[in-house]
């Protein structure tokens, strides 16, 4: 047994027997092999424990811990407390890590000591398919965490010394969004990023694809966002949190009143940041403008919404001749603008026009 591994892979398992072998094999097949694989069986009753014991007998890198059901946050904390590696990598019992995942994350974090937490792009499969929208700029991620977690939970790799120094364990009172809450605390002590390469396959099961599940996650996310807003000196009212959760879920009312109330709320966030300087002002301005543009586009209020967008102080006319956010965000802004204009975003000429328009808004080069 390696008593000084570079990586501690931590996985909590609860009744994932149908997918477990595929998940475990994806870690054992990594191109970088100097890891320990700590698996906490959280009271499974479907044979998962027996599968894990068989694996631990075949590969000395696997350490299995059996316990009564305590929930995901408590199980992950136990695994992290047992970890001995320089890095702690997450894994789930129904997902798949692609072969070069650990190698590329370790290489990147070794070359970037200011990065304390690193996720990757991932592809969704199972009951829902698609590709994750991946942000890489650390300051953009910090700002966007006012609305979203920005990092896919089981893709992350974290520095263990930061966990120990700053007590960065999962809060066990969070039944959902425990990862989001932890990322916000990580963002206060280090930079967070994602590798843009798809290195992970993230399984969506039927329960996760339901509106009820999404609403439950949003409710817990709202608690986290309220805490993040307090960093700006804002104690949000119930009405303001309703608006904020609508921005989080991208569920917009199609009314002038809603658009006007959102504008007021986003302006309040921008004004508070000018006082507290909690976030980079230019990057936050871009993030708020993107949410503002999405609301105006989703209102279906035509030219009134277009004028309201451009006349608002949330509209970004310049940004010191620089790009403060990633190209993915600019591409999204282009899609929002094309929606408002009622035109297709396909075709090179229109894409050039959108990019030129967004560039002019940013005060950059066309």
Q: What is the pLDDT of residues 100-135, one digit of tens each?
A: 999 999 999 999 999 999 999 999 998 888 888 799
CA dihedral 235, 239, 241, 244 (to 10 degrees): -120
Higher pLDDT, 358 or 12: 12
Cα separation, 176 vs 219, in Å, equals: 9
Structure tokens at 158: 């974290």
pTM of the model: 0.85
Report the C-alpha gap between 119 and 200 in whole angstroms.
Answer: 10
Answer yes or no: are the C-beta atoms of 85 and 160 closer than 8 Å: yes
Q: Predicted confidence band at 1 (pLDDT cuts at 50, 70, 90)?
A: low
Closest among 113, 60, 61 to 87, alpha carbons compared: 113
Q: Are 308 and 270 in contact (CB under 8 A)?
A: no
Q: What is the pLDDT of residue 360?
A: 42
pLDDT at 363: 37
The residue to which tokens 């199972």 are assigned: 126
Output the CA–CA distances (angstroms, integers) from residue 185 to 158, 170, 213, 226, 243, in the order listed.
13, 10, 24, 13, 24
Give the confidence band of 336 by pLDDT, cuts at 50, 70, 90.
low
Please state, in angstroms and rounded to a whole number, the distance separating the CA atoms of residues 362 and 327. Answer: 13
Q: Kindly state the average pLDDT of the residues 7-36.
A: 97
Q: What pLDDT score does 323 carry?
A: 33
Domain ranges of the chain: 7-209, 232-362
How far, in Å, CA of 155 to CA of 165, rounded?
22
Does residue 79 carry a pLDDT above 60?
Answer: yes
Q: What are the tens digits of pLDDT across the range 126-174?
A: 888 888 879 999 999 999 999 999 999 999 999 999 999 999 999 999 9
Q: Decide if 87 contacts 34 (C-beta within 8 A).
A: no
Decide if pLDDT at 6 tops 60.
yes
| Average pLDDT score, the chain | 88
Give me the DSSP letters along 208-241.
Answer: GGSHHHHHHHHHHHHHHHHHHHHTTT----HHHH
CA 107 – CA 118 distance, rounded (Å)? 11
What's the CA gap between 94 and 204, in Å, rounded?
A: 9
pLDDT in tens, 271-288: 999 999 999 999 999 999
Domain 7-209's class?
Answer: alpha beta
For 61-77, how does the pLDDT look when each residue is reduced to its tens digit (9 = 90+)? 999 999 999 999 999 99
């Amino acid at each position: 047994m390696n008593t000084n591994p570079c990586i501690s892979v931590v996985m909590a398992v609860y009744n994932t027997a149908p997918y477990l072998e595929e998940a475990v094999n994806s870690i054992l097949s990594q191109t970088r092999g100097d890891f320990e694989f700590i698996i906490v069986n959280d009271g499974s009753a479907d044979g998962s424990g027996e599968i894990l014991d068989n694996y631990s007998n075949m590969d000395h890198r696997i350490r299995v811990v059996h316990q009564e059901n305590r929930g995901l946050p408590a199980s992950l904390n136990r695994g992290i407390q047992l970890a001995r590696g320089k890095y702690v990598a997450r894994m789930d019992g129904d997902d798949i890590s692609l072969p070069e995942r650990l190698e590329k994350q370790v290489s990147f974090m070794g070359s970037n000591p200011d990065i304390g937490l690193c996720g990757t792009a991932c592809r969704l499969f199972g009951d829902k398919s698609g590709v994750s929208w991946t942000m890489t700029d650390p300051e953009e991620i910090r700002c966007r965490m006012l609305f979203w977690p920005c990092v896919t939970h089981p893709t992350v790799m974290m520095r263990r010394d930061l966990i120990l120094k700053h007590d960065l364990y999962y809060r066990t009172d969070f039944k959902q969004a425990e990862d989001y809450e932890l990322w916000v605390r990580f963002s206060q002590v280090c930079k967070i990023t994602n590798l843009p390469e798809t290195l992970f396959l993230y399984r969506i099961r039927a329960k996760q694809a339901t509106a009820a599940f999404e609403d439950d996650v949003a409710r817990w996310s709202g608690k986290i966002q309220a805490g993040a807003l307090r960093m700006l000196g804002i104690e949000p009212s119930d009405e303001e949190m309703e608006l904020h959760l609508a921005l989080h879920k991208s569920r917009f009312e199609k009314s002038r009143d809603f658009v006007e109330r959102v504008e007021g709320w986003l302006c309040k966030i921008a004004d508070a940041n000018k006082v507290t300087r909690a976030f980079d002002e230019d990057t936050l301005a871009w993030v708020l403008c993107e949410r503002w543009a999405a609301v105006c586009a989703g209102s279906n209020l035509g030219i009134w919404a277009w004028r309201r967008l451009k006349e608002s102080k949330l509209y970004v006319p310049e940004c010191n001749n620089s790009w403060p956010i990633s190209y993915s965000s600019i591409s999204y802004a282009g899609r929002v603008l094309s929606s408002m204009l009622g035109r297709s975003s396909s075709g090179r000429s229109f894409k050039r026009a959108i990019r030129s328009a967004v560039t002019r808004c940013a005060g950059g080069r066309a």
